[in-house]
Amino acid sequence: MMISVAIAGATGYAGSEILRLLLSHPAYKAGDLRIGALTAHSTAGQKVCELMPHLPQLADRVIAETTAENLRGHDIVFLGLPHGHSAKIAQQVGQSTTVIDCAADFRLRSKEDWDSFYGKEYAGSWPYGIPEVPGNREALRHTNRVAVPGCFPTAITLGALPAVAQGLIEPELSVIAITGVSGAGKKASVAQLGAETMGNLKAYKPGGLHRHTPEILQNLQPFTQDKLSVSFTPVLAPLPRGILATVTAGLKGGVGKREVDTAFREFYAQEPFCHVLPAGQQPETQNVVGTNMVHLQAHVDERARRLIVTSVLDNLCKGTAGAAVQCMNLTLGWEETLGLPQAAVAP
C-alpha cells in the first residue's frame, strides 16, 4: 500500500531534516512512500531548490501554504510548526490521518505544567515519542497521534533513566546540557547570529526556568517512588548541531561501578539507537551528527559518591526529525530502524 506523507513547516530545520531522512527511507526508494504536500508560511510559493538546495531530489517542488486543505488526505502529516499552532491543524485534517507533532503542544500530561511554561491554550496530551522509555513503544504502535519529544528531554531522559529505574541514585538530579544553535529553530534572531555565538558559550534559563524541565520530570518520575527534582541549565555553544548533557546525582548506599555498568548495559542491550560506550570513553557530539543515535557513558566518582552520566545526540535527528520518523515507522507497523542512520560522518 502506498503511504502518502505531508510536512507542515517543511522549510524549517525540523521539516527539512524529516525530508532528508524520508528521501533515504527504503519505502520511498521502493515506491511505497510518496512525499506529498510541502507547506510553510513565510516561504510559501518558493521552490525547494531556493530554500533547501541540499535536497536535490525535490528541487522543483513548490512550497504550499500551510492549510488543513493542503494537508488533508495524506496518510501521515508531520507538523514542524511553532508551539501552540498544532492543535487546530490536527483537528482539521481528520482522525483518519496520522499526525506526528514536532512541537510541544501535546507533550505534557499536566495542564498546570503547560500553563506555567507555555501559557497558551492547553490541547491535551498524545502518546509520547521516545520509544526507548518502557511502555511508550507499545502505545506508539497503536496510535495515530504522536507527540515528538523535546531534544533536551530526549538526551537527559535516556541518560538518567537506567539509574532512576534501578534505584541507583538519590532523587536530586543536576543537569547541564550544551546545545548547538539549530535548537532555536530557523527564525531570524540576533542572539543566534554568528557574531554573537562564535567563540562564545552562554548559559540561559538556568535551574528550573527552561520549559523542558517538566517534560523531563514527567518522563522519569513514573520509574521511582522517590520524589524527583531536576535542576536543569542549558548552555548555548557555537556549533550547528548536537547536544551534550551531563546528569549528576548522588549514589545510594552500596551502589558502585559494577552495579552502574550492569544497569546501563542491560537497560539498553536491545535498543538499536542507544549505544553505551566502553569504560573510559566519553561521548562526543561529532560521533552522532546526522544519526538517530544516543551515545552514553555512566561514570562513578568514588570519592564524591556521585554518578555522572554523559549523553550526546544530534538535536535535529534523534532530538526531533529522527524521532518523528522512528515513530512513523512504529505507527505503520514497519521496522523501527528503517531510514534512520546509525553511522555518523567522520571526520
Q: Which residues are catalytic?
A: 151
Question: Cα separation of 103 and 78, whole Å?
Answer: 10
Interior CA angle at 60 toward 43 and 14, to 5°?
Answer: 50
Using an 8 Å Cβ cutoff, are 158 and 318 in contact? no
The residues facing 312 across adjacent strands are: 244, 295
Q: Which helix (H) or strand (E) holds 246?
A: strand 243-250
Spatial separation of the C-alpha atoms in residues 326 and 336, rounded to whole Å: 6
φ, ψ of residue 267 to 5 degrees: the values are: -65, -40
Residue 159 and residue 296 in contact, taking contact as beta carbons nearer than 8 Å: yes
Helices and strands (DSSP H and E) totals, the chain: 12, 13
Upper half-sphere CA count for residue 234 (Cβ side, 13 Å): 22
Residues 6+ apart with CB under 8 A from 219: 128, 130, 133, 149, 153, 157, 161
Distance CA 251, CA 302 (A): 9
Q: Largest alpha-carbon pair distance within the chain?
A: 63
User: Among candidates 44, 89, 96, which has minimal Cα distance to 74?
Assistant: 96
Edge to edge, the sheet with strand 243-250 lists 202-203, 229-236, 172-179, 243-250, 306-313, 294-301, 274-276
- Residue position matching grid coordinates 512550497: 63
Residue with cell 562526543: 284
- The answer to whether the Cα torsion of 231, 236, 237, 239 is positive or negative is positive
With cell 541518560, the residue in question is 159
Report d(CA 251, CA 164) in Å as an integer. Answer: 11
